[in-house]
Amino acid sequence: MKITLDRAKCTGLGICESLAPCHFEVDDGGVLLVLKETVSESERGEVEEAVAGCPTEALRLAD
Protein backbone atom coordinates (compact mmCIF):
# COMPACT_ATOMS: atom_id res chain seq x y z
CA MET A 1 0.00 0.00 0.00
CA LYS A 2 1.07 3.55 -0.66
CA ILE A 3 0.13 6.88 0.95
CA THR A 4 -1.00 9.75 -1.25
CA LEU A 5 -1.33 13.32 -0.02
CA ASP A 6 -3.45 16.08 -1.55
CA ARG A 7 -1.44 19.13 -0.52
CA ALA A 8 -4.24 21.47 -1.59
CA LYS A 9 -6.48 19.97 1.12
CA CYS A 10 -3.90 19.53 3.89
CA THR A 11 -3.94 22.16 6.65
CA GLY A 12 -1.09 20.66 8.70
CA LEU A 13 -3.08 19.98 11.86
CA GLY A 14 -0.89 17.00 12.71
CA ILE A 15 -3.53 14.45 13.64
CA CYS A 16 -1.90 11.99 11.26
CA GLU A 17 1.48 12.65 12.85
CA SER A 18 0.13 11.85 16.31
CA LEU A 19 -1.44 8.59 15.08
CA ALA A 20 1.37 7.39 12.78
CA PRO A 21 4.59 9.27 13.64
CA CYS A 22 6.79 6.93 11.60
CA HIS A 23 4.96 8.00 8.44
CA PHE A 24 4.00 11.65 8.98
CA GLU A 25 5.60 14.79 10.37
CA VAL A 26 4.48 18.41 10.36
CA ASP A 27 7.52 20.66 9.95
CA ASP A 28 8.13 23.98 11.71
CA GLY A 29 6.34 25.80 8.86
CA GLY A 30 3.19 23.72 9.28
CA VAL A 31 3.78 21.65 6.15
CA LEU A 32 3.03 17.93 6.30
CA LEU A 33 5.86 15.63 5.27
CA VAL A 34 5.21 12.03 4.33
CA LEU A 35 8.24 10.29 5.80
CA LYS A 36 7.44 6.85 4.37
CA GLU A 37 5.06 6.49 1.42
CA THR A 38 5.03 2.70 1.46
CA VAL A 39 3.01 0.98 4.18
CA SER A 40 3.85 -2.53 5.37
CA GLU A 41 1.15 -4.91 6.49
CA SER A 42 2.22 -4.53 10.12
CA GLU A 43 1.83 -0.72 9.89
CA ARG A 44 -1.44 -0.78 7.99
CA GLY A 45 -3.83 -0.38 10.95
CA GLU A 46 -1.95 2.62 12.34
CA VAL A 47 -1.82 4.35 8.94
CA GLU A 48 -5.47 3.57 8.16
CA GLU A 49 -6.39 5.22 11.47
CA ALA A 50 -4.32 8.29 10.57
CA VAL A 51 -5.93 8.52 7.12
CA ALA A 52 -9.42 8.15 8.59
CA GLY A 53 -8.61 10.79 11.23
CA CYS A 54 -7.70 13.46 8.68
CA PRO A 55 -10.45 16.10 8.96
CA THR A 56 -9.77 17.52 5.49
CA GLU A 57 -9.54 14.11 3.76
CA ALA A 58 -6.12 15.02 2.37
CA LEU A 59 -4.73 11.49 2.84
CA ARG A 60 -5.50 8.32 0.93
CA LEU A 61 -4.18 4.77 0.82
CA ALA A 62 -3.80 3.07 -2.55
CA ASP A 63 -2.71 -0.44 -3.52
Q: Is residue 57 left, alpha or beta, with left meaning phi > 0 and alpha meaning psi from -120 to 50?
A: left
Compute the distance between CA of residue 24 and CA of residue 12 in angstroms, rounded to an integer: 10
pLDDT in tens, the chain (63 residues): 999 999 999 999 999 999 999 999 999 999 999 999 999 999 999 999 999 999 999 999 998
Helices (H), 1-63: 15-19, 44-52
Name the residue range of residue 11's domain.
2-62
Q: What predicted TM-score, i.e. pTM, was given to this entire model?
A: 0.92
Per-residue pLDDT tens over the stretch 2-18? 999 999 999 999 999 99
Which run of H or E residues covers position 20?
none
Using DSSP, how many helices (H) and how many strands (E) does the chain show? 2, 4
Domain count, the chain: 1
What's 25's domain CATH number? 3.30.70.20
